[in-house]
Amino acid sequence: MPLPTNPLQMVHLGPRKKRPRQMGASMVCPPHDIKFQDLALYILEKKMGTTRRAFLMELARRKGFRVEDELSDSITHIVAENNSGSEVLEWLQGQNLKASSQLELLDVSWLIESMAAGRPVETTGKHQLVKRDYSASPNPELQKTPPLVIKKISQYACQRRTTLNNCNQIFTDAFEVLAENYEFRENEVFCLAFMRAASVLKSLPFTIISMKDTEGIPCLEDKVKCVIEEIIEDGESSEVKAVLNDERYQSFKLFTSVFGVGLKTSEKWFRMGYRTLNKIKLDKTLKFTPMQKAGFLYYEDLVSCVTRAEAEAVCMLVKEAVWAFLPEAFVTMTGGFRRGKKIGHDVDFLITSPGSTDEDEEQLLPKVINLWERKRVDSGKCSQQEGKTWKAIRVDLVMCPYERRAFALLGWTGSRQFERDLRRYATHERKMILDNHALYDKTKKIFLKAESEEEIFAHLGLDYIEPWERNA
């Protein structure tokens, strides 16, 4: 059975070892969708090197740019690094390609800014190696680009704005594989090291293309930098490659994809010699929890992605069921969808009602589940006659007292690393304790009230960060 591609987030460390660079088939990348058809880029290898050029080409293609391997008359932009305009023009003459007024000769800074913006940015004097009218200056020189001024980056995700526009996915994907592997091995220290590294790189407004770019960035330990350096030089990480081919990692990835299966169960099945789900299901000596039974029964549905349209449809079903028992209740979709994600693996809802009693809150979820259970049984009878016409989706329902709704909303919105750092910040920087229920000031020895997320940020002395900026 193929392994599901459900990215958690983990990593591996170790001293960097130089290895021969693999050329040929291993360098071939899958095709990417071209978003900007009017542009055709050619990245100059001169003073850049083969591997670095291949690295930038792959990054640009991931962002939707059309990057050509060979120079031709169709090229609209030539991108160079550490070359003056006259050097590029001299090189062009040797290629028998005449520079025209339509051809842009640009410094690599233009490409980096464009990839960060997710679109081609306007070319200005600081980007252009020569003026567009090449005949006007017979010997133009590179206009110096002022260094990019970057504000000091905080070690805490709650002080960084992290959108879904990840300029460093080639690195963060590697970190998350390694972090997941350490989670499977219950090595919390290394797991957190790579998760924090992935988190800070996701917040950067630029793409790392050299080790110099990592200077001043927090949470990048030596072993993390070894992985970055290897990817820059070789286009991939040997550690990540080894992890992806590791039988234990593959087995744990597969086992934990079953709803209700954690690390202890995965370890048990792996030690028993199981490597596929089919053999586990056929073993009559194994006992499964109700969640695991549901996980196997609806496996294909639960490992597939939930779209925003499906999440919105589920939201209507949840509201309908909740309002049948608590008409004044507020139902809010939280989790990744509140942070702006278009797909997820489950749907989380926060339920609260201003006029509810403790008894109402205790009885609501059992009532909703019983209602759905009756509908499921009725649906099952119909599906036996008509065939399955529905999809199983994991839904998390959280009921909280109305006066604690702000804390619950903040806690259940995520991301996981954002929440971790928010609580770490509260403890270490403000001497407070924050959880999904309350905020306690240890100095004043009082609980601080909040009617909104903004008030919680204010109590902590933090600038408010919108939900879609918490994708840490």
Q: Are strands 330-333 and 306-307 parallel, antiparallel or unpaired?
A: unpaired
Residue 323 Cα to chain centre, angstroms: 34
* Token representation of residue 7: 């990215």
The whole-angstrom separation of Cα 99 and Cα 134 is 7
**Which amino acid, residue 380?**
G
User: Hey, which residues does 350 pair with through a beta bridge?
Assistant: 332, 398
Q: Which H or E element spans position 420? A: helix 416-430
8 Å CB contact between 127 and 107: yes
Residue 260 Cα to chain centre, angstroms: 23
Q: Which H or E element spans position 292? A: helix 290-297
Active site residues: 346, 348, 396
Surface-to-core class of residue 398, CB atoms within 10 Å of its CB (0-12 exposed, 13-18 middle, 19+ buried): middle
Residues 6+ apart with CB under 8 A from 82: 47, 48
Q: To the nearest 10°, the Cα dihedral for 130, 134, 140, 143?
A: -20
The whole-angstrom separation of Cα 177 and Cα 240 is 7
* Token representation of residue 309: 């349209």
Q: How many CA atoms lie within 13 A of 268 on its CB side?
A: 9
Surface-to-core class of residue 448, CB atoms within 10 Å of its CB (0-12 exposed, 13-18 middle, 19+ buried): middle
For the chain, how long is the longest CA-to-CA vector?
Answer: 84
The whole-angstrom separation of Cα 228 and Cα 102 is 37
Q: How many CA atoms lie within 13 A of 282 on its CB side?
A: 6
Residues 6+ apart with CB under 8 A from 274: 251, 255, 280, 283
The whole-angstrom separation of Cα 140 and Cα 85 is 6
Query: How many DSSP H helices and E strands does the chain contain?
Result: 18, 11
The whole-angstrom separation of Cα 182 and Cα 10 is 6
How many of the other CB atoms lie within 10 Å of CB of 1?
10
The whole-angstrom separation of Cα 222 and Cα 228 is 10
